[in-house]
Amino acid sequence: MSIERTFCLVKPDGVQRGLVGEIVQRFERKGLKLVALKMLHVDKDRAHRHYDVHKERPFFGELIDFITSGPSVAMVLEGQDAIRLSRGVIGATRPEDATPGSIRGDLALTTGQNLIHGSDGTETAAAEIQNFFSDNELIEYKLDVGPWIG
């Protein structure tokens, strides 16, 4: 296992439902270190870059409309095997397939409004972090609990 960074985005439905604190808490309780966090309105240009992989799919327009419909909360998490761990915390894309105890398994209602996005690999994470954060927004610090969580 290696120390890596991943990107997560609490989507507009998560913000509107007042779930940001609980979502961030789940990652922290898992032992992931928060190195960047901000609330923003995702503009269309950033949304297009974020969802570029889906541009040929019929639901692309719906993705863009939804992610730009209200404020979101972007974050960068760091830790051993952070991508795999965060995806476990998030749960499957379809809430009905998500494991109980995961964010989507416990809190999401529909696939179209499933509360949160998480990077699926190291290259994706790097691109998504760069799309949402500048280098000076990523805070380097030592967690004093590091020896206990890996």
* Whole-Å CA distances, 27 to 43, 52, 68, 103, 112: 26, 26, 24, 10, 22
Q: By the 8 A CB rule, do 2 and 9 touch?
A: no
Active site residue 54: no
Q: In what order do the strands lie in the sheet with 33-40?
A: 33-40, 72-80, 3-10, 116-118
DSSP secondary structure letter of residue 136: G
Q: How far apart are the first and last CA of the chain?
A: 10
Q: Rounded to an integer, what distance in angstroms lies between the CA atom of residue 50 and that of residue 85?
A: 21
Residues tagged active-site: 117
